[in-house]
């Protein structure tokens, strides 16, 4: 393995892993998909841009492509390493919202970087992120709000939708 690629791996493996953890909520899936992402990047290493900001965006684009078509696996017994309430709320989001939130908070990308990874506009990223965060807040508040006397709890999944 070249020194450049080893440095690339050491610098960005945590971001790629965190993206998959937020995206799928499974430690096993995050590990397998992180491995697959770096295998693909290694195959492309000859033409890879090792400039840190571009390399990170490129790796996360490869990560997105690697996980295309992957359905969310069952949660691990040992959990994905994020708060269980947050994990449950993330499960209620649509795929696009969860992907944007995973890139923003898992991989720590800003809106322009997310737009590049997803090949979309910053405006769209802003809308999806805003909508996803509102839905997350609503889900989390619903999980933590105590029921008032005589109030029946809502069914799992609640109202709403994609």
Greatest CA separation for the chain: 65
pLDDT digits (tens, 9 = 90+) for 70-110: 776 655 555 556 777 888 888 889 989 999 999 999 898 99
Query: What average pLDDT does the structure give for the chain?
Result: 82
pLDDT digits (tens, 9 = 90+) for 138-149: 999 887 665 555
Tell which CATH classification among 1.20.140.160, 1.10.630.10, 3.40.47.10, 1.10.10.410 matches the domain 3-142: 1.20.140.160
pLDDT digits (tens, 9 = 90+) for 20-34: 988 888 888 899 999
pLDDT digits (tens, 9 = 90+) for 121-135: 999 999 999 999 999
Give the count of beta carbons closer than 10 Å to the beta carbon of residue 36.
16
Question: How far apart are the C-alpha atoms of 84 and 70, rounded to whole Å?
Answer: 22
pLDDT of 77 reads: 53
Q: Which residues of 73-86 are buried (b: 16+ CB within 10 A; e: fewer)?
A: eebeeeebeeeeeb
Q: Which residue has the tokens 């960005």?
A: 12
For the chain, the domains span: 3-142
In the predicted model, is pLDDT for residue 12 greater than 50?
A: yes
pLDDT of 86 reads: 84
In the predicted model, is pLDDT for residue 159 greater than 60?
A: no
CB of 112 closer than 8 Å to CB of 64: no
Categorize the per-residue pLDDT at 42 as very low, low, confident or very high, splitting at 50, 70 and 90.
Answer: very high
């Amino acid at each position: 393995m070249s020194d450049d690629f080893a440095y690339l791996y050491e610098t960005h493996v945590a971001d790629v892993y965190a993206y998959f953890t937020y995206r799928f909520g499974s430690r096993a899936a995050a590990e397998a998909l992180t491995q697959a992402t770096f295998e693909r990047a290694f195959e492309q290493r000859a033409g890879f841009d090792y400039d840190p900001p571009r390399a990170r965006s490129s790796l996360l684009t490869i990560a997105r492509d690697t996980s295309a078509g992957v359905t969310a696996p069952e949660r691990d017994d040992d959990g994905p390493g994020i708060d269980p309430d947050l994990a449950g709320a993330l499960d209620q989001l649509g795929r696009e919202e969860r992907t944007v939130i995973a890139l923003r908070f898992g991989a720590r990308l800003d809106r322009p970087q997310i737009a590049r990874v997803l090949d979309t506009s910053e405006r769209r990223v802003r809308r999806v992120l805003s909508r996803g965060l509102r839905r997350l807040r609503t889900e989390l508040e619903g999980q933590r709000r105590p029921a008032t006397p005589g109030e029946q709890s809502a069914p799992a999944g609640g109202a709403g939708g994609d």
